[in-house]
């Protein structure tokens, strides 16, 4: 029944490591997103994919690389993790320019 799912829910890692977060949606939506929520709870768009094509790439370091193998999946790979990458990362999906549905979030802690 889960609409938008993310794995893992928690991720604790050392600086300099590479990690991935996976996202899947079973709602049949064309568009998927990654958002970052910082320690002050401010939510900001990182990437937006429509039909597996990147349409938005906000000012995000190129250590972050999204990959969409198909319309139902959007994964986020992060290279050379830094302390400032610690945040909650949310995946979302929706019809293009429509209502967005969010996953439960992945809390990333970089030590």
Partner 1 sequence: KQEVTQIPAALSVPEGENLVLNCSFTDSAIYNLQWFRQDPGKGLTSLLLIQSSQREQTSGRLNASLDKSSGRSTLYIAASQPGDSATYLCAVEAGYSTLTFGKGTMLLVSP
Shortest distance in whole angstroms from residue 15 CB to partner 1 = 25
Least Cα distance to 59 among 74, 45, 79, 42 occurs for 45
**Among 14-22, 48-56, 64-72, 76-84, the segment contacting partner 1 (CB under 8 A):** 48-56
Assess 45 for contact with partner 1 (CB under 8 A): yes
User: Is 41 or 83 the residue whose CB approaches partner 1 more closely?
Assistant: 41
Shortest distance in whole angstroms from residue 16 CB to partner 1 = 28
Q: Are 101 and 93 in contact (CB under 8 A)?
A: yes
Q: With H, G, I as helix, E, B as strand and everything else as coil, classify residue 84.
A: helix
> What count of Cα atoms within 13 Å lies in the side-chain half-sphere of residue 85?
27
Shortest distance in whole angstroms from residue 104 CB to partner 1 = 5
Assess 10 for contact with partner 1 (CB under 8 A): no
74 burial via Cβ count (<10 Å: 0-12, 13-18, 19+): buried
Assess 57 for contact with partner 1 (CB under 8 A): no
Sheet holding 4-7, edge to edge: 4-7, 19-25, 73-78, 64-70
| Binding-site ranges for partner 1 (CB under 8 A) | 4, 31, 33, 40-45, 48, 50, 55-56, 58, 90, 92, 94, 96-105
């Amino acid at each position: 029944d889960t609409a938008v799912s993310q794995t893992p829910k928690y991720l604790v890692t050392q600086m300099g490591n590479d990690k991935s977060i996976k996202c899947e949606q079973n709602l049949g939506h064309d568009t998927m997103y990654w958002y970052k929520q910082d320690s002050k709870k401010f939510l900001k768009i990182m990437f937006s994919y429509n039909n597996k094509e990147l349409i938005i790439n906000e000012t995000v370091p190129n250590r972050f690389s999204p990959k969409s193998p198909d319309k139902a999946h959007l994964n986020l790979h992060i290279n050379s993790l830094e302390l400032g990458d610690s945040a909650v990362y949310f995946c979302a999906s929706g019809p293009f320019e429509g209502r967005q549905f969010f996953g439960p979030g992945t809390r990333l802690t970089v030590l």
